């Protein structure tokens, strides 16, 4: 696997530290999916789980949308993956989802998230609450790092199961 990731710096200001770690984790998911056919990207982990690498990409596109477009920005753009009342579409619908379109959508949401993030102070509050609570931009960045880190662990196991590839 080609690994284009640039490790986060050991010393940086808070914004640079948070955004470079988030980008490193975004790139990690990309690396875990490299070189696989659509069939392998759709390969489920183990019953009863519906998790797959393509499902993780679709899930993270939806998560990027949820935190940066919906919560922080307050946008009314509909979720591109999940409809109302369909919380598992990201994982469940991989059999009919195009990998190319899913990756393009994920990349679009990442690019938009970077724009939103660059326009806000770390202390800025999202325009929409979660569970009746305000969320700061800083909290969202930390949460996104956690979200990717957790799912990259899943991606490690999925990729190893597919072709034995392991790595950070």
Residue 62: what pLDDT? Answer: 96
Question: Which DSSP symbol is given to 57?
Answer: H
Cα dihedral 17→18→19→21 (10° resolution) = 80
The pTM of the full predicted model, rounded to 2 decimals, is: 0.95
d(CA 138, CA 123): 6
Residue 86: what pLDDT? Answer: 83
At how many degrees (to 10) do helices 14-33 and 53-64 cross?
Answer: 150
pLDDT digits (tens, 9 = 90+) for 107-151: 999 999 999 999 999 999 999 999 999 999 999 999 999 999 999
Phi and psi of 135, rounded to 5°?
A: -125, 130
Per-residue pLDDT at 164 exceeds 80: yes
What mean pLDDT value characterizes the chain?
Answer: 95
Per-residue pLDDT at 4 exceeds 90: no
Residue 3: what pLDDT? Answer: 86
- Phi/psi class of residue 132: alpha, beta or left (left: φ > 0; alpha: ψ in -120 to 50)? left
Residue 149: what pLDDT? Answer: 97
**Residue that is written with structure tokens 């056919």 in the block:** 37
Residue 1: what pLDDT? Answer: 67
**What are the domain boundaries of the chain?**
14-163
- Band of the pLDDT at 12, cuts 50, 70, 90? very high
Say if residues 17 and 8 touch (Cβ distance below 8 Å): yes
Phi and psi of 136, rounded to 5°?
A: -85, 160
pLDDT digits (tens, 9 = 90+) for 39-48: 999 999 988 8
| Structure-model confidence comparison of residues 6 and 102, the more confident one | 102
Q: Does domain 14-163 have CATH number 1.20.120.450?
A: yes
């Amino acid at each position: 696997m080609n690994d284009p990731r640039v490790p986060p710096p050991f010393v940086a200001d808070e914004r640079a530290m948070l955004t470079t770690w988030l980008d490193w984790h975004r790139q990690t998911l990309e690396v875990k999916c490299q070189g696989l056919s659509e069939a392998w990207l759709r390969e489920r982990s183990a019953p009863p789980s519906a998790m797959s690498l393509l499902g993780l990409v679709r899930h993270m596109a939806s998560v990027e949308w949820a935190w940066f477009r919906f919560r922080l920005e307050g946008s009314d753009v509909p979720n591109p993956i999940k409809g109302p009342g369909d919380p598992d579409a990201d994982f469940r619908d991989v059999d009919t989802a195009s990998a190319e379109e899913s990756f393009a959508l994920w990349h679009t949401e990442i690019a938009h998230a970077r724009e939103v993030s660059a326009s806000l102070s770390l202390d800025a509050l999202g325009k929409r609450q979660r569970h009746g609570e305000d969320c700061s931009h800083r909290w969202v960045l930390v949460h996104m790092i956690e979200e990717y880190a957790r799912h990259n662990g899943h991606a490690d196991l999925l990729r190893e199961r597919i072709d034995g590839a392991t790595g950070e």
